[in-house]
Structure 1
């Protein structure tokens, strides 16, 4: 069985310098982000980034400045993809990953996560004309997933439970997966539903695609950091609690999910779900599997 490259990296404990010491030495906080995961994070074309996750991490940066008494501390934004995100954190190239990474047991064995800022579920994107509405409608059909995505075990379990005999394809990027659905090379693209809504909104003909299928999971997105770095994680966690307690996070959510936003001024119209709303009442980095 192939082993993901990030699992072969040297343990984080091998780094003699903790994150706050590194930031103090370099006067820079490095934020890794996925460059086209609207509304969470996307490149703005000028070396910058914007999105719900980015807004949260800019507040974290302010908290780090205050903690270290470094008013001139710089923030460097590092665009990444779904596979490189683990390496840049483990190797110390970036200090925190701000995007759409799921906090699950496998990843917690190597990384730390702060309080979730979103909850998603696994569904699928199909062509509206396909007639596919449920996972049972996928019997014998072609599904594509993106290499490195955390949704694969859920889809494989649904495949086995329903004896669907799915025909699998795997690609390196979400843009490739969307294109394969749009031009009919596959019947469905399985992914986090919020990302599917985002990708659909960016296509030339969004009305030709729809998001269907019963939810296969409930997964928390959270900012990812190096493991066993309690001092830095404490700063991040305290700032998350402050944003939640002061109500700032609700305004951030509304800005990015309910209004036209981003480089294309898209509005997803996704109201805050009850799972996230309930979790924010009692903020915790502990999540259920």
Structure 2
């Protein structure tokens, strides 16, 4: 009995030590290992996606790579989706989530966020020439990604516009590519999410789709970070600000959203800068 207790206490001690060591400050561990594990999407055009050559590319990919380079680290890319990007931060499986994630107060209860590094808003994407305004979608099926702020925003808008079946008319899918496929096959009248994502998919088939109506939400993107780790949060914030100050940010932005790209999206705001 004594041996069993001793063994149990020993194993418990090892587990507690391992947990303590793993849960240490992110900044210290990253500076020691020189590796940053970043959660990045895989089908969010042009934020982060696989191109025709099978390369993992996009705005978020370049932002994450630039952050790692400035901190003298190697970037380890970890595929995430709308369901795992927060959980992976909480579980310590990634050090930051660079995954077109809107900073919401509700999400801030679970993880911390950097300053806003991208500014977007939500719209509808539909086949060209079929709809002209929000009201046209009352009573129609709308595709959204499951578990996103976009899903909530569309339901609230349709309810406000008087759609008695707004709950049933919002159809949830797991992936952005599935939403686009549903639109292509006329299973839904429109797909609604952040406008830059819609622009990305519409560019795959030029001239067939268009954005409808004005923005009906603000979507400020933040980098998801572990809770209560101010040194790491400061490192990310300072790096983003330095990238803005020396032009690195705009170089990356124009590469993906500039006037000479299929995803043209004029920048309307500036990153928060601290003196």
The TM-score normalised by the length of structure 1 is 0.80
1:34–1:41 contact (8 Å) kept in structure 2: yes
Q: CA RMSD in A?
A: 2.4
44 and 184 in structure 1: CA distance in 2 versus 1, 3 angstrom threshold = closer
State which drifts further: 210-219 or 51-60: 51-60
The residue that corresponds to 1:217 in the other structure is 217
Q: Which of the numbers 18, 25, 29 marks the counterpart of 1:22?
A: 29
Secondary structure of 1:115 counterpart: strand
2:126–2:212 contact (8 Å) kept in structure 1: yes
Q: Which of the numbers 198, 201, 206 marks the counterpart of 1:199?
A: 201
Shift of 1:124: 0.8
The residue that corresponds to 1:7 in the other structure is none
2:47–2:61 contact (8 Å) kept in structure 1: yes
Q: Distance in 1 between matches of 2:211 and 2:55?
A: 30
Q: Distance in 1 between matches of 2:106 and 2:154?
A: 17
Q: Distance in 1 between matches of 2:199 and 2:54?
A: 25
2:89–2:97 contact (8 Å) kept in structure 1: yes
Aligned residues: 253
227 and 45 in structure 1: CA distance in 2 versus 1, 3 angstrom threshold = farther
The residue that corresponds to 1:161 in the other structure is 160
2:125–2:209 contact (8 Å) kept in structure 1: yes
The TM-score normalised by the length of structure 2 is 0.83
Q: Distance in 2 between matches of 1:256 and 1:119?
A: 14
Q: 1:1-289 alignment to 2 at 5 Å?
A: 16-43=23-50, 49-65=56-72, 73-129=73-129, 131-165=130-164, 166=166, 167-202=169-204, 205-258=205-258, 267-272=262-267, 274=268, 276=269, 279-280=270-271, 282-283=272-273
Secondary structure of 2:207 counterpart: helix
Shift of 1:148: 1.8
215 and 78 in structure 1: CA distance in 2 versus 1, 3 angstrom threshold = same
1:63–1:235 contact (8 Å) kept in structure 2: no
2:145–2:172 contact (8 Å) kept in structure 1: yes
Q: Distance in 2 between matches of 1:177 and 1:48?
A: 22
Q: Distance in 1 between matches of 2:255 and 2:158?
A: 37
Gaps of 5+ in 1: 1-12, 66-72, 261-265, 285-289
44 and 187 in structure 1: CA distance in 2 versus 1, 3 angstrom threshold = closer
1:49–1:77 contact (8 Å) kept in structure 2: no
Q: Rg bigger for which structure?
A: 2
2:151–2:170 contact (8 Å) kept in structure 1: no
1:48–1:77 contact (8 Å) kept in structure 2: no
Shift of 1:267: 2.4
Deviation sequence 1:31-65 (CA, Å, 0-9, x none)? 11001223222246899633222222222213332
Gaps of 5+ in 2: 1-19
193 and 45 in structure 1: CA distance in 2 versus 1, 3 angstrom threshold = closer
1:41–1:49 contact (8 Å) kept in structure 2: yes
Secondary structure of 1:116 counterpart: strand
